[in-house]
Structure 1
Amino acid sequence: MQYKDYYKIMGLSRNSTQDEVKRAYRKLARKYHPDVSKEKDAEAKFKELGEAYEVLQDPEKRAAYDKLGTKWKAGEDFRPPPNWDEGFEFKGGGFTGGDAGAFSDFFEQLFGRAGSRPTDRGPHGFHVRGQDSHAKIYIDLEDSIHGSTRNISLSTPEMDVQGYVKVKHRSLNIKIPKGIKPGQHIRLAGQGDPGSGGGKAGDLLLEIAFNSHPLYRVSETDIYLELPVTPWEAALGAKIKVPTPEGSVDLKIPPNSRQGSKLRLKGRGLPAKTQGDFFVVLQIALPPANTERAKAVYQKMQQELDFNPRLSLGVKSL
């Protein structure tokens, strides 16, 4: 996926006002509109211009894009920095109110798609409910296993009277429910935009993601551990101590275990109506042949063991 420099596409500096963004778009749209333009690749340039404008004309998308920083160059391979979108608060059902399907993979990776703004009618006319706010927060695996209370910081973009995008910050104390999974949401009633005409305030929806863990990975309600074992532990079997999020346990490795074999500890995954499991995935670690003694051991194995792992491929050892 290639990085797109939206400011370069529109010929703008990063401190341009929103009015300058609009003026630049109107000028370039006339230049590259496929119906009238004689420029080479006008249609592609017009589409690229529309994508840049979709981002820079909207204070929320622009502030989110600016959060990526300035070290990227147009056209270079790009991956969003880890947790780049943490705590970034935006309105409506998603980052974009446009037709995201018409935009690039770069755009889709950052902004996704949008929903709609809810309204309700009251007994004395229209009461417009405030927009819901959305943000992604990252928690630790242990927060989900035990439940916790966290203080989170949210950043909300606004446009000042001069037309510049500014970011304001707020902090909230929230309760992390036990057993919450990545992709699920915590709804905080009344913490979104205020309503108008006496309408209710919108809600704040916090999408949950997990911080990367040095030992474990999570899939739905199951937790996985890649466990290094020696060749003799895998071949002969062993009883070893294994770390889990709730303390170490004794685990029996069956004889003749293979690389990638999975051993299950039932009910030691994420808390849920149907409790998740804890899976140990065996990774056979080979001792280095970095001493004469170690080399001699490997040579003896080579001489005494009739073993060719490539027999199933139809090839023989030399």
Structure 2
Amino acid sequence: MDDILASIFGRGALRATSWVGGLFQHGGMGGFNGFGFAPDLDLSVEIQITLQEAVLGGKRRVQLSHDSFEIKIPAGVREGEVLRAKGRGRRQGGMVGDVLLKVRVLEDNVYTQKGDDLYKSFDLPLKTALFGGRVQVETLYKEVALKIPPNTKNAQKFRLKELGVKNRKTGGVGDLYLLANVILPHTDTLSAPFKQTLQEQLP
């Protein structure tokens, strides 16, 4: 192999190549840059965002020890994805690396994400559950008037199309599923005749 390389590049080039290779083997250097092995100037950090930021996107200021900058969070970003801030890494000579931001989506106390879909519980008065009507429900995108049919059961599921999470690969948007949480009135708030009627009529 040495003879083949020497016939192409000459003995001097072969010695230079072996020397550079020795630097690489003894470590601490990064990829080959044409003249030698360039240092790894990238920085890997974790960024924590809310579920709302992950779904809707937005901007977030990142504060590092050596720099402060604003990064765009794309709508539909997922747990574990890596966002790249070009030119914000370490510097050495005329070279500069990037900052690689690994996304961690914080748990939300209202919404649960499953793939492209979101799930949320909403309170439903017993009267509306029994006889039907409409209730106003907040979503991440807008407030909606949800039609409730008579005899709605506890935990009954309602689907709102395309109010879930954007899939950045397909461009589609998942759905929002609303789960009814039927609120029972306290019996102390009911009149005595009505309680008597309930006791007689309820199975």
Q: TM-score, normalised by structure 1?
A: 0.47
Letter in 1 for 2:59: T
Match of 1:280 among 170, 178, 187: 178
Q: Distance in 2 between matches of 1:300 and 1:139?
A: 48
Letter in 1 for 2:31: D
1:305 correspondence with 2:202: yes
CA RMSD of aligned residues (A): 2.9
Higher relative contact order (CA 8 A, sep 6+): 2
Give the 3-state SS of the residue equivalent to 2:32 in structure 1. strand
Matched ranges for 1:31-180 at <5 A: 119-139=30-50, 141=52, 143-154=53-64, 168=65, 170-180=67-77
Q: Distance in 2 between matches of 1:118 and 1:238?
A: 68
Q: Which structure: greater strand fraction?
A: 2
1:225 correspondence with 2:135: no
Instruction: Report the CA distance between 1:153 and its aligned residue.
Output: 2.4
Aligned positions, number: 173
Kept in 1: contact 2:48–2:106 (CA 8 A)? no
Q: Which runs of 5+ in 2 are unaligned?
A: 1-27
1:266 correspondence with 2:177: no
- Equivalent residue for 2:84? 187
Instruction: Report the CA distance between 1:131 and its aligned residue.
Output: 4.2
Instruction: Report the CA distance between 1:170 and its aligned residue.
Output: 3.9
1:290 correspondence with 2:188: yes
Cα 1:292–1:249, aligned 2, differ >3 Å: closer, same or farther?
A: closer
Letter in 2 for 1:203: D
Q: Distance in 2 between matches of 1:301 and 1:230?
A: 17
Match of 2:141 among 246, 250, 265: 246
Q: Distance in 2 between matches of 1:206 and 1:150?
A: 12
Cα 1:218–1:124, aligned 2, differ >3 Å: closer, same or farther?
A: same
Q: Which runs of 5+ in 1 are unaligned?
A: 1-116, 155-167, 307-318
Letter in 1 for 2:35: H
Letter in 1 for 2:57: G
Letter in 2 for 1:246: Y
